[in-house]
Structure 1
Amino acid sequence: MSGQGKQKTCFVTVGATASFTDLIRAVLAPDFCKALESQEYTHLLVQYGQDGKELFDKCLQQSLEVGDLSSLQIGGFALDPSGLRQYMIQAKGQHTKPPAAEGLVISHAGSGTVLDALRVSIPLIVVPNSTLLDNHQVELAEALEEQEYVVHGQLKNLVGALKRAEQLRTRMKTWPPVNSGTHRQAKGLKGVMDEEMGEEELRIDLEVP
């Protein structure tokens, strides 16, 4: 499964602390893989979590049996103690030889992962894990999409989210920035994160380039 031409990577992360099996299934579904190929993605890399390898292997095999994915190289790993930023930079297409096209990150709605992707300044699809109890993932995803930082993705329509992510990519490269304007200045990214996640102790510079 090797792609031709310039490399373009979709990096998917489900996080380390909670299983998100539905997201693994969704990104390995044949229709989503075909949608990636249609947008000239050459690589799909999935961080499937500490208990996700068996499911990853099963879903990948099923997709390969359904259709030809010869132009999409698919790989996965459980966890990386050094963090995920390096994979986001890879998807961004930075520091690669030969130069790569800018890709995409698809993430669960963990605040740390979202912030890392925003700092890398790459289009981000945030997919809430609705199976978690007493969490604010849906509210966070909705608030960040409203201010045009991310695309709020839903498991039942990731193909549609992929198309909207390309629209976000275009807006990210225009001026003024997509998240500028008086209606956003009042709250900003830190305000959204504090309000939705209750992270008053957050002491990170949230200025996104």
Structure 2
Amino acid sequence: MSRRPRKVCFVTIGATAPFDVLLSNVLNKSFLEALQQHEYTTLVIQYGKEGRAVFDKFTKKHAPGSPERCGLDIQGFGFKQDGLLREMRLTKSDDKLDSLEGMILSHAGSGSIMEALRIGVPLVVVPNPALQDNHQEELAREIEKNGWAVTGRLDNLAQSVEKAEDLRRAARSWPPVNSGETKYKRGLAGVMEDEMGFVD
């Protein structure tokens, strides 16, 4: 039996404010089944300041290979002084490593979002409703409106896997997302004419 190409979902809960409800939903069977359905092989979780107990409880209760892991290699860590760029890059496709493009699921912290957007893979942003003076909902709505990411809902996190796949398809479509109503109306020929300076 041939080995499936690696496809990574990287989840960041954040390093400062606890977001255990997101972590619990990421480890929920419905979310893991959604990843399996879309051919993910690996789930890497940055579980944050206080999430280790939740992560350890799941991994001790459900050993590698158990049905509750839905065929996924599940890994986790708390905090890295040098940032999350290395883990985020695991989600990029790489022919040499036999890996397909995956996705990043992030809490709605602006630093994590900016770093994830630079990677260029589908991004799901999940606001933390427990934060006071919460600007995260507004930030998540704005980046979704612009087609840069999709907003995930805690009560239906599995759906965000499908939304990430839709975002991937939209990013590969023509005309490009955010191209404006008429900018690419004439297709590739129009773009070439504009770039080369041709006029009608």
CA separation in 2, counterparts of 1:9 and 1:106? 11
Kept after mapping to 1: 8 A contact 2:48/2:78: yes
Kept after mapping to 1: 8 A contact 2:10/2:44: yes
Q: Deviations over 1:113-161 (max 9, x none)?
A: 1111111101000000000001200111111111111110011111111
**3-state SS, counterpart of residue 71 of structure 2:** coil
The answer on 1:19 being equivalent to 2:15 is no
Matches within 5 A, 1:1-209: 4-62=3-61, 67-69=67-69, 71-94=71-94, 97-181=96-180
**Cα displacement (A) at 1:100:** 0.5
The count of corresponding residues between Structure 1 and Structure 2 is 180
Tell me how large the CA RMSD over aligned residues is.
Answer: 2.2
Please tell me the residue identity of whatever aligns with 2:11.
V
Kept after mapping to 1: 8 A contact 2:46/2:77: yes
**Cα displacement (A) at 1:92:** 1.4
Gaps of 5+ in 2: 183-200
State, as a whole percentage, how many aligned pairs show the same letter: 43
Give 4+ residue runs of structure 1 displaced > 6 Å after superposition. none
Q: Which shifted more, 96-105 or 23-32?
A: 96-105
**3-state SS, counterpart of residue 160 of structure 1:** helix
**3-state SS, counterpart of residue 98 of structure 1:** coil
Rg bigger for which structure?
A: 2
Structure 1's 68 and 18: CA in aligned 2 closer, same or farther, altered over 3 A?
A: closer
**3-state SS, counterpart of residue 91 of structure 2:** helix
CA separation in 2, counterparts of 1:172 and 1:125? 14
Kept after mapping to 2: 8 A contact 1:46/1:75: yes
Gaps of 5+ in 1: 184-209
